[in-house]
Homo-oligomer: A and B are copies of this chain.
Amino acid sequence: MSYLGIIAEYNPLHNGHLYHFNTSLDITQAKYSICIMSGNFVQRGEPAVIDKWSRTLAALKAGFDLVLELPVIYCTQSAEIFAYGAVSILNSLNIVDYLSFGSECEDIDILKKIAYVFANEPEEYRDILRQEMDAGNSFASSRANAFMKYIKGDFSYGDADNIKSILQSSNNILALEYLKWLIRLKSPIIPVSVKRIGPDYNDQNIQDGNFASALFLRETAKNHDWEILSHYMPPFSMDILRQCINSGKAPVTVDNFTSAILCKLRQMPLHEISSIIDVSEGLEYRIKKAASQSGSISELIHNIKSKRYTETRIKRILLHSLLGMTKSSLTPPEYIRVLGFSEKGRQVIHKIKESCVLPVITNMSDYKEYKDERFKKMVAMDILATDIYVTAYSKEQDRTGGCDFLKGPVMV
């Protein structure tokens, strides 16, 4: 009776995701599957194209038994913090046997070896990393450079070019973070790497057989090209996406929040902007100036961007300011939030309630009176994220807040 865990966003769920899920089941022969999913905002620093309940339904229709929400305080952050939240939740369930992820690199051993360095941060490596950062590079490229310098000459890591390319691919970067946190949390969960097929997440215009990037699919969905989408998405997932679009609830994009973000940043004093998560080293001045000089979100990002601050990091900062996410110490997850489950998933929930020390929330209203401060803070941010997300809907009656209290879990 083994349990498979997968960390996902399914934004939207496509053939590549389905391939990964089915391959993971094949490899692990797991009986139960659990998905840890981002809520209404995702790691690229954007609102999800469709809401979390619709994406939950897609995951359940794909075959998952249980979908749990990754609290928003982890969702819109760097790969490191995103992975920390997701792996912590999986680990805290105390029943998960496998964590399967897609990555460009098939060789789990080499990934583990790299992750070991990241997890333990030997002093020498850390010194080089600091130098790279001080030179004004982004964290991702600083880390890749530092790692290459640190292992210099050690051929057990394999060919240098190969290592370099591993460190630069977006799925590997996430995979390495998952592995890092499994090591740091001393988790017994066994990592499984499934080689990604099809184009990379970030390729907008490339399709390959029946696989296309989520970005390409989101762009295609905006144009209502259902014929094209049908090649790359399972029918159930396309139906869910279509229903959301037809009802005026999708696609939600960051442009829906142009007015809210511009008005807010123009109004925020510098010291408040500097307190936003991910704003550091005087970036508040660039943000303040750009907010005044820009008439759209893309212009705003362009005006803030620099060698050090990648587009994704800036997009995350914009969401953090929209949601009022200010700097505070990173805390472990406070709860297990059930977004949906299948018949089989019901048994998994029972099992988790026995094995996990965290409260398992199936109906948020049961927790309205819960007094724990850290719990309240974390959950309030999830509720707010939804309340802000729904303001993008085209029908006034759909923009009502409090969905997290009103909507029960999705059941199939």
Give the chain B neighbours of A323 by CB distance below 8 A. Answer: 267
B292 adjacent to A396 (CB under 8 Å): no
B388 near A266: Cβ-Cβ < 8 Å:
yes
Which of A205-213, A332-340, A398-406 sits within the interface? A398-406
Q: Is A46 an interface position by the 8 A CB rule?
A: no
CB of A257 within 8 Å of the partner chain: yes
- Report chain B residues within 8 Å CB of A293: 400-402
Given contact pairs A266-B384, A267-B324, A323-B267, A295 touches B400 in the complex (Cβ within 8 A): yes
Cβ–Cβ contact B396 & A295, under 8 A: yes
- In the complex the two chains form, is A292's CB within 8 Å of B391's CB? no
A160 within 8 A of partner (CB)? no
Decide yes or no whether A299 CB sits under 8 A from chain B.
yes
Chain B residue numbers with a CB within 8 Å of A401 are 266, 291-293
Asked if A322 is an interface residue, CB under 8 A from chain B, the answer is yes
Q: Which A285-315 residues sit within 8 Å CB-CB of chain B?
A: 291-296, 299
Against B, the Cβ 8 Å flags (1 = close, 0 = not) of A377-404 are: 0000000100110011101111111100
Nearest Cβ on chain B to A297's Cβ, whole angstroms:
10
Partner of A296, one of B257, B264, B291, B396: B396
Would you call A387 and B292 a contact (CB within 8 A)? Answer: yes
Known contacts A292-B401, A402-B293: A263-B396 contact under CB 8 Å: no
When all copies of this chain in the complex are counted, the total is: 2
Rounded to whole Å, the gap between the CB of A292 and the closest CB of chain B is 3
A256 contact set on B, CB distance < 8 A: 259
A190 interfacial contact with B, CB 8 Å: no
**Docked complex Cα distance between A399 and B292 (Å):** 9
Residues from chain B with Cβ under 8 Å of A264 in the complex: 260, 263-264
Q: How far is the CA of A384 from the CA of B269 in the complex (A)?
A: 11
CB-based contact B295/A397 at 8 Å? yes
Q: With a 10 A CB-CB cut-off, give which of A263, A384, A393, A396 has the most chain B CB atoms.
A: A263
The chain B residue with its CB closest to the CB of A397 is B295
Q: Contact check, A263 vs B267: say whether CB atoms are below 8 A apart.
A: no
Q: For the complex, is A317 an interface residue (Cβ under 8 Å from B)? A: no
Cα A257 to Cα B260 in complex, Å, equals 8
For residue A262, CB closer than 8 A to chain B, the reply is yes
What's the tally of chain A residues with a CB closer than 8 Å to chain B?
Answer: 34
Query: Is B402 in contact with A263, judged by CB distance below 8 angstroms?
Result: no
Closest residue on chain B to residue A322 by CB atoms: B263
Q: Are B295 and A259 in contact (CB under 8 A)?
A: no
Interface centre among A266, A291, A296, A324 (most CB of B within 10 A): A266
Docked CA distance A395–B262 (Å): 14
> CB-CB contacts of A109-134 with B at 8 A, as 1s and 0s?
00000000000000000000000000
Contact with B along A85-126 (1 / 0, CB 8 A): 000000000000000000000000000000000000000000
A391 near B324: Cβ-Cβ < 8 Å:
no
Q: Which residue of B lies closest to A402 (CB)?
A: B292
Contact B397 A267 (CB under 8 A): no
A263→B295 contact, CB < 8 A: no
A390, closest chain B residue (CB): B295
Q: How far is the CA of A299 from the CA of B395 in the complex (A)?
A: 13
B263 touches A391 (CB 8 A): yes
When distances are taken between beta carbons in the complex, the residues of chain B under 8 Å from A296 are 396, 399
Contact B262 A259 (CB under 8 A): no
- Shortest CB distance A42–B (Å): 18
Let me know if A391 and B259 touch, CB within 8 A: yes
Indicate with 1 or 0, residue by residue over A242-276, a CB within 8 angstroms of chain B CB atoms: 00000000000000111110111011000000000
Known: A256-B259, A299-B396. 10 other contacts (CB 8 A): A257-B263, A259-B259, A259-B260, A263-B391, A266-B391, A267-B384, A292-B402, A295-B395, A295-B396, A296-B399
Between A and B, 16 residue pairs with Cβ closer than 8 Å are A256-B259, A257-B263, A258-B391, A262-B391, A262-B399, A263-B264, A263-B388, A266-B388, A266-B391, A266-B401, A267-B322, A267-B324, A293-B401, A295-B399, A296-B396, A299-B396
